[in-house]
């Protein structure tokens, strides 16, 4: 019996050897299948391999069996989302299962609850005026804690393109959040044996801050210890725009350099034999992965290096593809949610992309060409993920990577590593290296900032269906295959088709016969975006913003979190017109940021709208024309006409001077009312005795100062759009207004309840949709 089992086991090992990547792809196909396109595509691929006699019967049976198992298990493990709601305030006990974030503003950690076995994110915000000693909290990895607070589901995205915090936490295994402001509501005791490693990490993070310049310590902490909190937000944004973010996260590049340096020192100076040096690295790499923050890219590169070192010791002949596939399966079987983390996806896909191109890279090309080719392959490998996440691609980033990847590989990362070692071995040398790093790296960042200012022209593609990315990866594989086989004509053909696909996705909105009218959920304010069919025009009506904590300085929060992501998700870079009803911040606050980052042809305002000098200067610098209108004027944008109904004269107040706009869009009549009151509504009744509408933008966010019964009776709308903040301090929309709307059987659509509201039309008909169910 044992011999039979051993024989079967050997047969299975033979069947799997060389095909572990198919097992890994099986799991991937199941886990990422939101439709059945990917699964069907993969099954056809396996059958094709079998027909081409590249798979044996036993191999085919094993892979298909694995696919079925992963389908059953993966369906249970795939993350789900939950509707936002508050749960009852309660006392919760559990154990801390993550490293603890302890900054000047907050203490944050993840814990597993004792009763439900659910993972919860606990955040304690510090009071700057509080004299409490937060080190007394005893918040450590493995500690048992008792938390008194309000247990909630994380808030979810309420607009297309907006970052979904609930989905993000769910993909990291977190089901609930608890926010507390009083340290007395958090009691912890004990710790795990692994906590000593985390305490060592905290010390290693604090030492550079105390002994080096803030500039150098920030970069050292990021590139050696995986904590990017010391790098400026401006630098992070520029690196993201130029697809250089992989240099800020510890990955195979960093681990490979560090391993190479340590191995060279140990062997070259005869401190250890090759075999003992390899054994020491096998022990040290998992410890380093923890000290470096335990990010997926760190673990992936560390475990792969450990695997290869073990294979060398065991004299095994497993292929590189088998090793990375096996490491991938170890990760996802240990924690299925890790598959949805962007860093994990980037790390493995770039590695696979380089693997399928390894024969090309092994050719005796000049080093500059090899580096360039690696940059191109890396960028093409993650392009679908990047566009799916950020909606844009910067073609020039390939050349910037060609410059900055070698710079980081040969100068920055080794310099940071030697500076780190010098802190403990030769402190005076660390100070010299600190000065050298500042002298070199600040000009390098300045150069990148200049390039960003003059040469940043992103290709904004927008949200794209998974079907197109399946075609993309098939073309990419065929392109690499024919380059590898030196079939230049075939490679050029597939490369051309690949470029055509990207160009098609870029111009796809201009082929779309559908138009939309969207009311974004920006809280207590107004932002409406009209997109005409075939992308003939993009029209804004108001663009709300917020102010900073000083209640004076404009904040880009709404622009960055809602408006810009929405425009990028739609593939929009140019705005034909922004019509501003009046000059209140909850209607115009994001305009400076839109004008600064998007091409805006025209701004339309009332003759009673008063500009600030800074806004007028910005508009002039960006060549945005200004059109002033009043009652009776018509705003003509392409073939779309918007009639201005009010104001006729100066009412002496911003709300009462709001532009009132009427237009027919998608076969129905729209009325945008700004923040007018009932007196203006009565004047409108007298001035326009026969006006009728289908959609009413309810004035002043549902305040009781407007939307009178007489006005509703006169205009007879069928739908009412209310842009209003959730649980706002004004009590909008007023209950009396809601009752009046219901009395006239008007369908009410509110952003605080349903998120963004959209009317999608084609020709003279369309349908209404809400972002939330």
Q: What is the average per-residue pLDDT within 640-665?
A: 95
Please give the full DSSP string across 119-141, using - where no structure is assigned. Answer: EEEEEEEPPTT----GGGG---T
Can you point out the beta strands (E) in 153-294?
A: 174-180, 186-189
Q: What percentage of the chain reaches a pLDDT higher than 90?
A: 51
Here the tokens at position 525 are: 């304010």
Contact call for residues 141 and 148 (beta carbons, < 8 A): no
Report yes or no on whether pTM surpasses 0.85.
yes
41 pLDDT more than 70? no
Q: 614-624 pLDDT, tens per residue?
A: 778 888 888 99
Pseudo-torsion of CA 766, 767, 769, 773, nearest 10°? -160
Distance between CA 641 and CA 369 in Å, rounded?
55
Distance between CA 324 and CA 301 in Å, rounded?
9
Query: Mean pLDDT score of the chain, rounded to an integer?
Result: 86
Bigger pLDDT: 320 vs 756: 756
2 pLDDT more than 50? no
Beta strand 574-579 pairing with 554-555: unpaired
Distance between CA 394 and CA 400 in Å, rounded?
10
CA nearest 649: which of 630, 675, 668, 672? Answer: 630
Would you tell me how many other CB atoms lie within 10 Å of the CB of residue 343? 18
Peptide bond into 421 cis (omega under 30): no
Distance between CA 216 and CA 212 in Å, rounded?
7
Contact call for residues 35 and 468 (beta carbons, < 8 A): no
479 pLDDT more than 80? yes
Q: 373-395 pLDDT, tens per residue?
A: 887 888 888 899 889 889 998 88
Q: What percentage of the chain reaches a pLDDT higher than 70?
A: 88
Here the tokens at position 479 are: 């392109």
Cα angle value 187/192/194 (rounded, 5°): 135
What pLDDT score does 329 carry?
80
How buried is 646 (Cβ within 10 angstroms: 0-12 exposed, 13-18 middle, 19+ buried)? buried
Helix (H, G, I), strand (E, B) or coil at 667: coil
The H-or-E segment that residue 360 falls in is helix 358-361
The H-or-E segment that residue 388 falls in is helix 367-390
Q: How far is CA 367 from CA 362, 363, 372, 377, 402, in A?
A: 11, 10, 9, 15, 11
52 pLDDT more than 70? no
What pLDDT score does 73 carry?
54
What pLDDT score does 197 carry?
84
Q: What are phi and psi of 420, to 5 degrees?
A: -65, -45
Q: 172-217 pLDDT, tens per residue?
A: 889 899 999 888 899 999 988 888 888 888 899 999 999 999 999 9
How buried is 152 (Cβ within 10 angstroms: 0-12 exposed, 13-18 middle, 19+ buried)? middle
Residues whose CB is less than 8 angstroms from the CB of residue 306 and which lie 6 or more positions away in sequence, other chains included: 281, 282, 285, 286
Distance between CA 561 and CA 711 in Å, rounded?
35
CA nearest 516: which of 574, 573, 460, 566? Answer: 566
Residues whose CB is less than 8 angstroms from the CB of residue 375 and which lie 6 or more positions away in sequence, other chains included: 398, 401, 402, 405
31 pLDDT more than 50? yes
Residue with tokens 């004008």: 595
CA nearest 341: which of 390, 402, 385? Answer: 385
Q: What band does 10 get if pLDDT is binned at 50, 70 and 90? A: very low
- What is the distance in angstroms between the CA of the first residue and the CA of the last residue of the chain? 58
Contact call for residues 154 and 177 (beta carbons, < 8 A): yes
Pseudo-torsion of CA 78, 82, 88, 93, nearest 10°? 20
CA nearest 759: which of 516, 561, 578, 595? Answer: 516
DSSP conformational letter for 35: S
DSSP conformational letter for 745: T
Q: What band does 4 get if pLDDT is binned at 50, 70 and 90? A: very low
Helix (H, G, I), strand (E, B) or coil at 80: coil
Contact call for residues 144 and 189 (beta carbons, < 8 A): yes
Task: Spell out a b/e string for 178-210, using b for 16 or more CB atoms within 10 Å of the CB, else e.
Answer: bebeebeebbbeebeeebeebeebeebbebbee
Q: How many helices (H) and strands (E) does the chain have?
A: 29, 26
Contact call for residues 272 and 280 (beta carbons, < 8 A): yes
Helix (H, G, I), strand (E, B) or coil at 299: helix
Q: What is the average per-residue pLDDT within 462-474?
A: 89
Annotate 435-500 with three-state secondary structure: HHHHHHHHHHHHHHHHHHHHHCCCEECCCCCHHHHHHHHHHHHHHHHHHHCCCHHHHHHHHHHHHH
91-100, 255-264, 629-638 — which one is most confidently predicted on average? 629-638
Residue with tokens 């024989």: 7
What pLDDT score does 61 carry?
64
Q: What is the average per-residue pLDDT within 57-66?
A: 64
Residues whose CB is less than 8 angstroms from the CB of residue 130 and which lie 6 or more positions away in sequence, other chains included: 183
Q: How far is CA 37 from CA 41, 465, 468, 627, in A?
A: 6, 11, 11, 49
CA nearest 29: which of 17, 40, 20, 15? Answer: 40
Residues whose CB is less than 8 angstroms from the CB of residue 305 and which lie 6 or more positions away in sequence, other chains included: 255, 256, 259, 281, 285
79 pLDDT more than 50? no
CA nearest 251: which of 303, 304, 297? Answer: 297
Residue with tokens 């002043």: 700
Residues whose CB is less than 8 angstroms from the CB of residue 163 and which lie 6 or more positions away in sequence, other chains included: 157, 561, 565
Q: What is the average per-residue pLDDT within 361-382?
A: 80
């Amino acid at each position: 019996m044992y011999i039979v089992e051993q024989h079967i086991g050997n047969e299975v090992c033979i069947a799997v050897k060389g095909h572990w990547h198919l097992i890994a792809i099986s799991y991937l196909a199941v886990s990422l299948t939101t439709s059945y396109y990917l699964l069907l595509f993969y099954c056809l691929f396996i059958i094709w391999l079998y027909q081409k006699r590249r798979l044996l019967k036993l191999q085919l049976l094993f892979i298909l069996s694995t696919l079925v198992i992963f389908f059953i298990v993966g369906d249970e493990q795939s993350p789900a989302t939950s509707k936002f709601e508050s749960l009852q305030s309660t006392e919760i006990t559990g154990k801390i299962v993550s490293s603890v974030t302890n900054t000047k503003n907050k203490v944050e950690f993840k814990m597993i609850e004792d009763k439900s076995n659910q993972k919860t994110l606990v955040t304690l915000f510090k009071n700057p005026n509080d004299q409490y000693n937060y080190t007394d909290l005893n918040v450590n990895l493995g500690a048992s804690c008792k938390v008194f607070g309000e247990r909630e589901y994380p808030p979810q995205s309420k607009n297309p393109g907006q970052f979904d915090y609930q989905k993000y936490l769910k993909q990291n295994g977190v089901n609930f959040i608890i926010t507390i402001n009083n340290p007395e509501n958090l009691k912890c005791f004990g710790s795990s044996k692994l906590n000593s490693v985390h305490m060592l990490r905290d010390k290693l993070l604090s030492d550079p801050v105390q002994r080096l310049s803030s500039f150098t310590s920030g970069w050292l902490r990021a590139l050696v210890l995986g904590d990017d909190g010391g790098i400026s937000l401006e630098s992070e944004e520029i690196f993201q725009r130029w697809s250089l973010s992989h240099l800020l996260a510890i990955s195979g590049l960093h681990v490979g350099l560090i391993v190479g340096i340590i191995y060279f020192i140990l062997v070259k100076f005869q401190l250890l034999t090759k075999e003992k040096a390899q054994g020491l690295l096998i022990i040290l790499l998992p410890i380093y992965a923890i000290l470096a923050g335990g990010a997926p890219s760190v673990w992936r590169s560390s475990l792969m290096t450990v695997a290869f070192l073990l294979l060398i010791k065991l004299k095994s002949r497993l292929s590189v593809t088998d090793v990375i596939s096996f490491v991938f399966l170890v990760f996802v079987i240990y924690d299925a949610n890790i598959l949805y983390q962007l860093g994990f996806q980037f790390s493995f896909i770039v590695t696979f992309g380089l693997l399928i191109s390894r024969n090309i890279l092994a050719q005796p090309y000049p080093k500059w060409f090899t580096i360039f080719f690696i940059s191109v392959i890396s960028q093409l490998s993650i392009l679908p993920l990047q566009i799916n996440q950020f909606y844009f691609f910067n073609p020039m980033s390939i050349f910037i990577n060609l410059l900055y990847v070698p710079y980081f590989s040969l100068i920055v990362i080794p310099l940071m590593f030697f500076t780190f070692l010098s802190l403990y071995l030769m402190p005076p040398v660390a100070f010299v290296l600190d000065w050298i790093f500042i002298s070199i790296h600040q000009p390098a960042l300045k150069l990148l900032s200049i390039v960003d200012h003059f040469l940043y022209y992103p290709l904004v593609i927008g949200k794209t269906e998974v079907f197109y990315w399946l075609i993309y990866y098939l073309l990419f594989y065929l392109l690499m295959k024919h380059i590898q086989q030196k079939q230049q004509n075939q490679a050029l053909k597939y490369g051309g088709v690949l470029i055509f696909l990207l160009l098609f996705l870029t111009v796809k909105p201009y082929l779309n016969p559908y138009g939309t009218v969207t009311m974004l959920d920006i809280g207590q304010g107004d932002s409406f975006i009209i997109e005409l069919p075939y992308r003939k025009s993009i029209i804004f009506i108001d663009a709300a913003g917020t102010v900073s904590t000083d209640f004076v300085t404009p904040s880009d929060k709404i622009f960055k979190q809602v408006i810009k992501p929405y425009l990028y998700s739609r593939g929009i870079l140019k705005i034909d017109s922004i019509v501003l009803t009046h000059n209140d911040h909850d209607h115009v606050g994001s305009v400076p940021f839109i004008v600064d980052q998007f091409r805006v042809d025209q701004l339309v305002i009332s003759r009673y709208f008063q500009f600030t000098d800074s806004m007028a200067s910005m508009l002039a610098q960006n060549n945005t024309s200004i059109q002033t209108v009043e009652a009776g004027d018509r705003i003509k944008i392409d073939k779309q006409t918007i009639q201005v109904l009010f104001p006729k004269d100066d009412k002496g107040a911003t709300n009462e001077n709001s532009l009132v706009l009427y237009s027919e869009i998608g076969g129905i009549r729209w009325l945008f009312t700004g923040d007018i009151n009932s007196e203006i509504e009565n004047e409108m009744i007298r001035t326009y005795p026969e006006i009728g509408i289908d959609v009413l933008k309810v004035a002043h966010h549902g305040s009781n100062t407007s939307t009178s019964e007489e006005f509703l009776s006169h205009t007879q709308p069928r739908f009412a759009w209310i842009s209003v903040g959730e649980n706002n301090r004004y009590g909008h929309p007023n209950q009396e207004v809601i009752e009046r709307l219901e009395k006239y059987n008007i369908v009410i659509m509110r952003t605080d309840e349903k998120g963004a509201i959209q009317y999608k039309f084609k020709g003279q008909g369309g349908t209404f949709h809400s972002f939330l169910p």
